[in-house]
Structures are given as structure tokens and as C-alpha cells.
Amino acid sequence: MTASERCELCQQAALEPVYRAAGTARGLTVNLCRHCGLLQSLPRIDQAPRRGASASGAADWGNIRYGKGFRTAQAMAALRRHADLSAPSQVLDVGSNRGSFARQFLAAAPHAALVAVEPDTRVVHSVADLERTELVCARIEDVRFADDHFDIVHSCHTIEHLASPGKVLADHWRVLKPGGLLLVDAPSTALLEAEDVVEEWFIDKHLYHFSARTLMRMVSAAGFEIIEAPEPGDRENLLIVAVKAGEPAPTCAPDPREVYEAEARIAAYGRNRAANLAALTVMASEIARLSSRRVVIWGAGRLFDALITSGGLPPSLLAGLIDAHLGAHLPERHGLAVLPPQAVREIAPDVVVVMSRSFADEISHMVRQLAPNAQILTYGQMINRARQMAA
């Protein structure tokens, strides 16, 4: 067995295929480490040709590069709890993306200097002109900084993309000053147990699939002391705050409970996703029956794609498609123009279907302001009703 086929966390030759993602364009198979419970996709493709942007509900989703901005508020709140933003500091922003974190951090920390590492030439212009910022257009694995140089390392939804996250975390430890802060944010496998999941969660861009336990173990093995664990109520994200302490100490201890829980999550995901895909046809039929009225869908992303491709809803039945963020990157979806929220006033819909899970309440509030007479139907309500009808 080669090193690439050993578990990244415990280095044991205990990987077993447990899931094949729907619509994978990279030929990846999800493997479970029977020793420590870390889920990881093989083969570990270090660098692959960049594909175009896709909001598919299948495994080929990705390359839009706008989601990290939704996590900036949480990162800044954590830093305010654990760092003195008024003090001079050197900060490394790993995978700076479109610069949401860099801009907000620099505004809050007037004496800080920031190094933004971002390999995607399509988005680096977003941070190229920021004051007190050095842009490094490269992959973090290919950059070498001085030992004990940074006060803070921030890494948002990057670690799951890396071929060897353990090695990168060890390098974060090396470049941090003693007592320096590490913020790591990643998707959480807790979402696999969500009853309303319908999109393919194991997307091609992600090689590692962390639970709170496996990510904390990997961070600790790199020599960090965790001072803030992931929020238990957040089933979508894992935000860890840690300090550089001690020396890296790779772990190989077994974790049978984590193995059991990973198996249970995979099984629940398979059952729930199959049931929800079947229910999408019922949901699409319900929306079609409403089409004698003016129906608008708010949310042009993965749930919308699944409703069209798996549920069979004809896009032509819709009076409009709204999305506050995606339109700037994908102006058209399934033949419909992606319109900004303000367009709701002009369309004056009778019904607005909110195709969002995390932001359903926020979007519903905006709908009430823009179209106070419209009936609001949320994805969560509709998929639950459709599942009962399809059972």
C-alpha cells in the first residue's frame, strides 16, 4: 500500500470504500478509515485541470468561489474573543478567495499586516489592491514562510481541498509565533444526518470529510491546543480556534466510536437523500400546480438544480429566479436569468418558493419586505410534505 492510500490522520492502512458520489467527474470514491474514522476521498488528486463554474446538485459542483464570504462574520467574532485586534500583528490568510475576510479583518485591526495566499487567478484581483496586504498567488503547499513569523493563521474552507492537510497544518504550526492563533473552518459531516439533504454532499473538490472529532484530532496532532471547539449546534461548519503549543505529535490511536458514527452518518445520508430525491418529483408537481399564479423561486443554487434535474420541474413555468449572490457569477440557470432581490418588486409574485436551507428565515424576511402579499413556501416545508406524500 502506498503512502497516499494510508489514512491521513492515523497513517494506518485501514481505508475501506464506503460511498461513490453521484455525478463525480474526478472518479473519486469516499473511503472510511476503520482505525480512526476519518472519511477521505481517493485518489488524492493533488492538482486537477480547473473546470468551469457549476452549481450542480451532483458531485461536480464547485469553482464558483463565493461561499467563503458567508463565514467571515464567524471568524471575526472568534478573533474578537481571542485576539487583541488593536495590537500590531502579522496575519496569514490561507485561501483568501475574494477577500471578504481580508477586508473585514484589516478594517478591524488598524495595525495589522496581512499575507493573502490564493492560487486562483480569477479572483486574486479582489485583494490585489488592499493596503497592508501582500498577495501571494500560489498554492499554500508551495509557499515557504519564515519560522515563528505570524501571530494569526486563518484558513476557511481550504483544508478539505488539500492532498495532505496534516502536512499543511504542521507548516501552519511552524510559521506561527509561540502562542499564535490558528483559525480553521471546514464543512461538517453532521449535515449527512440532515433529513432534508438532497444535494450530493461528497463533492469532487473536497478530498477530506471531517467530523468535529476528526478535525480536532488532526489539529491537535499538528501541535496545537484547541481553545474553542466547533459549535455543537452548527451542522454545516466546523470552526476551531487553537494556539501553538508544544510540538507536533502525530496520533495513531484507534477511535472505534468515530468509526461507528461515520458509518451511521453514511447510512443515514444514503436513506435520506434517496427519499428526498423521490420526493422532489412530488414537490415539483406541487409547484407546477401553482403555476397558474406567478411563482418565483428564490435560491438559484444546488437545491434549485436538483429540483429541475431530479424533480423534473419545467423552468418555463416560473415567473422569475432570484438570488442575492449567485447572479454575479452565474447569470443564467436552466434558461432563466438570475435576478437580484430588487426584481421581486417588479415581478410582484403570488408565490415565492425559498430554495435555501441555511438562509430560509433571512430570505423569507426579505420576501415579506419586497412582496408583502406573496405566499412564502420554504424548501424545508415542501420537502417534508412531499416525503410524507411519497411514502
pLDDT, residue 324, reads 93
What is the band of 385 on the pLDDT scale with cuts at 50, 70, 90?
very high
Give the mean pLDDT of 130-143: 96
pLDDT, residue 122, reads 84
User: Looking at per-residue confidence, does 52 or 29 come out higher?
Assistant: 29
Cα gap 89→154, rounded to integer Å: 13
Q: Looking at the predicted structure, is the pLDDT value of residue 3 above 60? A: no
* 15-254 CATH fold: Rossmann fold (3.40.50)
pLDDT, residue 391, reads 75
Q: How many residues does the chain have?
A: 391
Instruction: Fill in the amino acid letter for 278.
Output: A
Cα gap 119→139, rounded to integer Å: 5
In sequence order, the 6+-apart residues with CB closer than 8 A to the CB of 266 are: 18, 19, 30, 32, 39, 192
Chain-centroid distance of CA 127 in Å reads: 21
pLDDT, residue 63, reads 64
Q: What is the DSSP letter of 354?
A: E
* 278-390 CATH fold: Rossmann fold (3.40.50)
C-alpha cell at 111: 495595525
pLDDT, residue 64, reads 64
Q: How does DSSP assign 12-71, residue by residue?
A: -S-EEEEEE-TT-SS--EEEEETTT--EEEES--S--PPPPPB--SSTT-B----GGGGG
Q: Looking at the predicted structure, is the pLDDT value of residue 62 above 90? A: no
Cα gap 285→305, rounded to integer Å: 16
Instruction: Kindly report each contact of residues 63-66 with a partner whose C-beta sits within 8 Å and lies 24 or more positions away, as own/partner.
Output: 63/205, 64/326, 64/329, 64/330, 65/97, 65/98, 65/120, 65/122, 65/123, 65/329, 66/98, 66/325, 66/326, 66/328, 66/329
Q: Please name the residue that has the C-alpha cell 474526478.
A: 26
What is the band of 239 on the pLDDT scale with cuts at 50, 70, 90?
very high
pLDDT, residue 56, reads 84
Give the mean pLDDT of 169-174: 97
User: Other C-beta atoms within 10 Å of 359: how many?
Assistant: 16
Cα gap 270→103, rounded to integer Å: 40
What is the band of 49 on the pLDDT scale with cuts at 50, 70, 90?
low
pLDDT, residue 154, reads 98
Bridge partners, residue 240, by sequence: 184
Cα gap 21→269, rounded to integer Å: 12
What is the Rg, in whole angstroms, of the alpha carbon atoms belonging to the chain?
Answer: 22
Q: How does DSSP assign 323-349, residue by residue?
A: -SSGGGT--EETTEEEE-TTHHHHH--
Q: How does DSSP assign 70-115, residue by residue?
A: GGHHHHHHHHHHHS-TTS-EEEEEET-TTSHHHHHHHHH-TTEEEE
Chain-centroid distance of CA 180 in Å reads: 25
pLDDT, residue 200, reads 95
What are the pLDDT digits (tens) for 112-135?
A: 999 999 998 888 888 888 999 999
Domain parsing of the chain, residue ranges:
15-254, 278-390
What are the pLDDT digits (tens) for 282-307?
A: 999 999 999 999 999 999 999 999 99
Cα gap 145→133, rounded to integer Å: 15
Cα gap 240→237, rounded to integer Å: 10
Q: Which H or E run contains 182?
A: strand 176-187
In sequence order, the 6+-apart residues with CB closer than 8 A to the CB of 118 are: 95, 96, 97, 124, 127, 135, 136, 137
What is the band of 54 on the pLDDT scale with cuts at 50, 70, 90?
confident
pLDDT, residue 1, reads 47
User: Looking at per-residue confidence, does 68 or 302 come out higher?
Assistant: 302
pLDDT, residue 247, reads 86
Alpha helices by DSSP H, listed for 227-359, are 256-289, 302-309, 343-347
Taking alpha carbons only, the member of 140, 133, 136, 176 closest to residue 158 is 140
What are the pLDDT digits (tens) for 92-108?
A: 999 999 899 999 999 99
Q: Looking at the predicted structure, is the pLDDT value of residue 2 above 60? A: no
- Dihedral sign, CA of 315, 317, 320, 324? negative
Taking all residues of the chain, what is their mean pLDDT, rounded to a whole number?
Answer: 93
Region of residue 168 (phi > 0: left; psi between -120 and 50: alpha; otherwise: beta): alpha
Q: Looking at the predicted structure, is the pLDDT value of residue 332 above 60? A: yes
Least confident range of 56-60, 84-88, 196-200, 342-346? 56-60
Q: Looking at the predicted structure, is the pLDDT value of residue 347 above 50? A: yes
